[in-house]
Amino acid sequence: MKILANDGISESGKNKLEEYGFEVDLTKVSQEQLVSYINDNHIVVILVRSATQIRADIIDNCPSIKIIGRGGVGMDNIDVDYAKSKGINVINTPAASSKSVAELVFSHLFGCVRFLHESNRSMPLDGDSKFKELKKAYAGGKELAGKKIGIIGFGRIGQEVAKIAIGIGMNVIFYDKFIEETSLDIEFFDGQNITFNLVSHTFDEVLENSDFISVHIPASDKYIIDSKEIGKMKDGVGLLNLSRGGIVNEEELLKSINSGKVSFAGIDTFENEPVPSMKLLMNSNISLTPHIGAATTEAQDRIGVELADKINEILN
């Protein structure tokens, strides 16, 4: 049986699939050519990440497809319910990339409180001629220890963010529609284990009391963070969105940064991917990455192997 990994798959995932007896096709097929390619090559499983869209036209016109697999968490690029109604299995890997996304949150956060996102732009241009001026400009950094981080959405990724925050001495509060309280088990290199019991706060409490806010919720058809929500935040708050574009109103975010209400933002997901707003890209108070939250070697290995195991379980 043939599997098309249209957005790629890790070598470990490919090897695992081949061990199970599947033929893995790594051809990158354009969206317009997908239907004909799937039918011509009798593809049984199509694997995607965030680039390829699997909509009703593909589902209706590719009768050989038995499984649609998403390497990652969010499945907003797949018509999940429609596929299931047609008897197609839809799978994803919700746990595999949690640590990678959480670590990228703190890459942005550490960078922003010490102005790395700005100094890395300025030093190549002016480091040799304005060293003292730059040193003065970036001298007012902050420590994260002792500060309060508010996490909106406390699923697997939100909880991994909390574990790192606790590990560096931050105070964690969270809001989640479905989780009222939870226990976080933090394991250390020497085998020690410490459990922290956390209770959910209200949405407004998180907005009003956090020094930094990190958003980790599924795709939404409306803004979760808009002008009203930003207005409730502390002056000088830092805001991070590494979940989905369209959750934060980027125009209002820019206004709040320009006014000083928000001191900085860290963004990995954008409203208009793959062509983000130029105003956003050019703002020196925003730390930017091109939707790479899950793009670590370790996460991709876990994703590939998990997909292979799930496919084998379904088909064999």
Quick one: which of 14, 77, 53 has its CA closest to 4? 14
Active-site annotation holds for 55? no
Quick one: which of 247, 177, 253 has its CA closest to 219? 247
User: Pairing relation of β-strands 193-199 and 181-187?
Assistant: antiparallel
Distance, in Å, from the CA atom of 288 to the CA atom of 78, rounded to the nearest integer, reads: 26
H or E, element range at 193: strand 193-199
Q: Identify the bridge partners of residue 264 per DSSP, sorted by sequence position.
A: 238
To the nearest 10°, report the CA torsion of 106, 110, 112, 118. Answer: -120
Q: Identify the bridge partners of residue 52 per DSSP, sorted by sequence position.
A: none
Catalytic residue among 103, 208, 251, 273: 273
H or E, element range at 14: helix 11-19
Active-site annotation holds for 117? no
Catalytic residue among 49, 201, 244, 302: 244
SS (H, E, C) 253-295: HHHHHHHCCEEEEEECCCCCCCCCCHHHHHCCCEEECCCCCCC
Helix 297-315 × helix 11-19 angle, to 10° = 20
Active-site annotation holds for 313? no
Catalytic residue among 49, 70, 291, 302: 291
Which amino acids are annotated catalytic? Answer: 244, 273, 291
